[in-house]
Structure 1
């Protein structure tokens, strides 16, 4: 199959086109070296993101191949998925694998290393089927030349077939340093009952595997390359890593270059330090992409991590309750027990809004975001529509709910409606000691604040 770069000619394919066209490129067959055709399609995986699907076929020898590449940039963090396969429905879950996905089944001592297979859109059963096909490919000749090895492979294939038939429960683990890996949730937007997702920070070796280098590492290489940082004259007036507190606290709005999270085109982020009454200073950041029109706004804490975590329980039953000011940091998780909804901190990001604005942002992400709609079929396509209808009932005050905001970093805030500043009847605030796991997620366990100069 032909080699295609990650950010290629796909800008001709519009993600907003209701009838996307398939682009065809002549390429060389890897089997018979005749000319074949590679077809490219930019599409959306429901609850995930834009992807580019590539399919190759050769009319001379009949060779076929297909693979998938992300339609955007690498994610900021790597991702690990752990799926407990217990029901036949779990075998039909869609799985998106990139080139950097490592697949493991601990119960079978089975592992597919990263970069050993091309990325693809498949199912849990498809992963097992592809492994069986690869192991049995040359079994006929192997049974003659290496009968002992063939017998061992036959025994392992029978174990894989038992897993495919779900003779007993097993676990599928996926680890992807690029963050472009996905397992379908049939209960979306509710929490997956049998699948866990953990984001992790990449190591330096993993960054280098992806071709990601820091400015210091690039500056050590005198040869000019695509990884070299831009000339100072091409940068915007401010570099956020070099901005002083006096610059941030001034009335001016600072700007620095970035890439659009939607189409990866160059864009500019505006940044301003402001004070929230009865709370603390925060940094407000807004990005507008001139290429695709995508807009984002985010709020980051202007201070450090608090000594304790904080948990807010807000009762929303009337129009007055919707008017509460809410500061949700990027480390704050949101939960609505009445709707069985759980939202991680990075899903909505950090934002300063109202209780109504928080609910509407959640509804908009579910209804309009690129990850929530797509061409690929889902296990329960009607579940999202019914959930959106329920959310609209909440926003029309036809259904009271409780919004729970849990921030281990303590950098979130909910306004009290009482005159004395104390929590009113509809607001409950609890400060708590963080667990070891929460400190680990915030990176506090490895932080040394005393005697660090001797380490």
Structure 2
């Protein structure tokens, strides 16, 4: 509320969060605004502020504010993000070569900076968040830079020439061809969006498959970024900075200190093993990742025949109804990766148990489905359950394919893809081939002929590449004489 300040006199309480009433509700539900009497910054009389906490596509949770003063007539409308700061910052990098790339939708949070490395141009964060396209973003930059160019030409001609040169490049970027296969064409360019809150993103034109023109990476925020986001006191020392990072990481269920994490994990594994001997389910307190309310996480160790022991975890929040489950594999790291290919011929094959670890990728060529490693996390379910879960996740959470701004052709194509997934889960499409590729060899598909070989299943063990070991953090692991190396710096 940039134009007014809140006065707590005679204000209504915000909606209470409970099992049947979420704080941020959908726009199409019966949502009522909360009215708060506030001070008008123009006439210093009391006006009325209306607050609406809701969820909309792309922006997720937002706070809509509207102020009106009956005395002087001042009105002010504002939208603020209600989404929590993510555990890591996020960078998107897009290579634009055709008109289709200019039509990509973008959610740019007010904390995100936009840069064009080819032109050595970076636009700093703004005061507002927006949903736009690549073309709309460039057009906005052109309009901003074009302002006052006549005055600059007379007062600071050198600055005028630099800005004019940049404007020529920006305008030429809007003249991309309809289709282009060569990413090094004359007008092709690269755009990067860096959001330390992790709440900005760029449309994937190949969803649910990876987009060859779009790449992303996560990173830990720097001290300066944490200060800008209000997560750290500017006068804090390095110890307080590290503690702030640990506190924030703990909010999302992670640990920064790897030694503490390893010790805690070993203690949990020992406790789960002891409980598994008596078929006991362990329960420990945690915070819901959706509403941050206290909830319980349950764990149990399960021994999968002809495979290995796994830990199954389940979290249920009574406040908002959020549910999640995950599987962690125990045991040592395999020296090789494993690729499992199964031909699904009937409904009995859909009922086979499948353990998909968080490091595995899987694909079903007949459905044009290709899921990257880390998608859906670790899951212990059936093949039918896995396909149905992919269907439900894509139906609910893939952005840019709902609302009036989505292209009708892509919406139809995506709905047809979801329909094929649903038919496959219902056993209406045969045969199918599912391939699970896990460089850690922690994934498993039930062999109904065990201990004999399964005629419909092919299991291949392969040597991991250097890049795979690097992604898994195995290249830097030292398991020989590590205690002596750790003591050596202290002795010096």
TM bin (shorter chain):
0.7 to 0.9
**Paired position in structure 2 for 1:296:** 324
**Paired position in structure 2 for 1:44:** 56
* Matches of 1:277 and 1:3, distance apart in 2: 65
**Paired position in structure 2 for 1:149:** 159
**Paired position in structure 1 for 2:313:** 285
**Paired position in structure 2 for 1:318:** 346
Contact 1:13–1:21, Cα closer than 8 Å, also in 2: no
* Matches of 1:23 and 1:94, distance apart in 2: 32
Contact 1:107–1:170, Cα closer than 8 Å, also in 2: yes
* Matches of 1:132 and 1:109, distance apart in 2: 15
Number of aligned residue pairs: give it.
433
Would you say 1:160 and 2:170 are equivalent positions? Answer: yes
Matches within 5 A, 1:33-182: 42-45=54-57, 50-52=60-62, 54=64, 69=81, 71-113=82-124, 115=125, 118-166=128-176, 168-182=187-201
- CA-to-partner distance for each residue in 1:303-361, whole Å, 9 max, x for gaps? 34321111111212211211221110111112122222222333311011111111111
Shift in CA distance, 201/228, structure 1 to aligned 2, threshold 3 Å: closer
**Paired position in structure 1 for 2:218:** 200
Query: Which of 288, 304, 319 is residue 276 of structure 1 equivalent to?
Result: 304
Contact 2:87–2:248, Cα closer than 8 Å, also in 1: no
Contact 1:311–1:405, Cα closer than 8 Å, also in 2: yes
Q: Choose 52-61 or 98-107, whichever is displaced more.
A: 52-61
* Matches of 1:386 and 1:308, distance apart in 2: 38
- CA-to-partner distance for each residue in 1:360-416, whole Å, 9 max, x for gaps? 111121234586975463232223321121112212333222111111222111111
Shift in CA distance, 308/242, structure 1 to aligned 2, threshold 3 Å: closer
Q: Name the structure, 1 or 2, with higher relative contact order (CA <8 Å, separation 6+).
A: 1
Would you say 1:447 and 2:477 are equivalent positions? Answer: yes
CA drift at 1:39: 6.8
- CA-to-partner distance for each residue in 1:8-33, whole Å, 9 max, x for gaps? 96854413844656667788999999
* Matches of 2:205 and 2:135, distance apart in 1: 15
Contact 1:51–1:68, Cα closer than 8 Å, also in 2: no
Matches within 5 A, 1:248-397: 248-251=272-275, 252-369=280-397, 375=403, 377-379=405-407, 380-397=410-427
- CA-to-partner distance for each residue in 1:172-210, whole Å, 9 max, x for gaps? 2223343322111233334334323x3434256488455
CA drift at 1:299: 0.3
- CA-to-partner distance for each residue in 1:127-157, whole Å, 9 max, x for gaps? 2123223323343432332121112111111
Matches within 5 A, 1:181-192: 181-192=200-211
**Which consecutive unaligned segments of at least 5 residues does structure 1 have?**
231-238
* Matches of 1:331 and 1:259, distance apart in 2: 25
Q: Which has the larger radius of gyration?
A: 2
**Paired position in structure 2 for 1:404:** 435
Shift in CA distance, 75/273, structure 1 to aligned 2, threshold 3 Å: farther
Contact 2:400–2:406, Cα closer than 8 Å, also in 1: no
CA drift at 1:74: 3.4
Alignment TM-score, normalising by the size of structure 2? 0.75
* Matches of 2:361 and 2:63, distance apart in 1: 33
Contact 2:105–2:400, Cα closer than 8 Å, also in 1: no
* Matches of 1:417 and 1:93, distance apart in 2: 46
* Matches of 1:123 and 1:304, distance apart in 2: 47
* Matches of 2:435 and 2:295, distance apart in 1: 34
* Matches of 1:38 and 1:261, distance apart in 2: 28
**Paired position in structure 2 for 1:2:** 2
Contact 2:93–2:193, Cα closer than 8 Å, also in 1: yes
